[in-house]
Structure 1
């Protein structure tokens, strides 16, 4: 599933890439993270290095995709992956470049 450009994506104001993706309960959180990073990097999800180099995808899915994940208590997880800061909470996945110069051409 290819991510579509979100009107909330921004680069000009901060010099850092920002993408915000709404979580879909039917898609594992780890899959949504990979697809969003692929969209940001203008690449294919299958070409990206394994997510487990940065975070355990099973643990990420367990936190956000299980029946217990439907709590009203705040929950967020942040980690670095491919030069991006990934922040996951119960509703969204936000991706920011770690520096202003990370972008599609710098990930190859």
Structure 2
């Protein structure tokens, strides 16, 4: 599946849990797509890290220790009438580098991996 320059899928699919790579290969992140109107980015982040680490959602460190969940959700909200937001945010959570991209994509990689 080819994506654009920032790695967002081009096929228009909005599968809630579309996993594009299994596990954490050294050269590529674990990438998950989520349904942007139905799910908040903050929720998708916790679920993606849980999936990668094979950990219960409640056992992951608090998201607010890494980033303000409300601010993250507002960055990628589509209800302002100006069209879909663009961009990405990267932060560390539970020993992983997490990138949230516009278009409903979360990438998780082990801290220290090069992009």
TM-score bin (small chain)? 0.7 to 0.9
**Helix, strand or coil: the match of 2:76?**
helix
**Helix, strand or coil: the match of 1:52?**
helix
Give the number of the structure with larger relative contact order, counting CA–CA contacts within 8 Å between residues 6 or more apart. Answer: 1
Q: What is the TM-score normalised by the length of structure 2?
A: 0.69
For residues 32-63 of structure 1, the C-alpha deviation after alignment (integer angstroms, 9 at most, x for no partner) is 10011011110110121210000000000111
The number of aligned residues is 96
* Structure 1 runs not aligned, ≥5 long: 101-108
Report the CA distance shift for 1:34/1:70 in structure 2 as closer, same or farther (over 3 A).
farther
Query: Equivalent residues in 2 for 1:6-85 (5 A)?
Result: 6-9=19-22, 11-12=24-25, 14=26, 18-25=29-36, 26-68=38-80, 71-72=83-84, 74-85=86-97
Q: What is the TM-score normalised by the length of structure 1?
A: 0.73
**Helix, strand or coil: the match of 2:89?**
strand
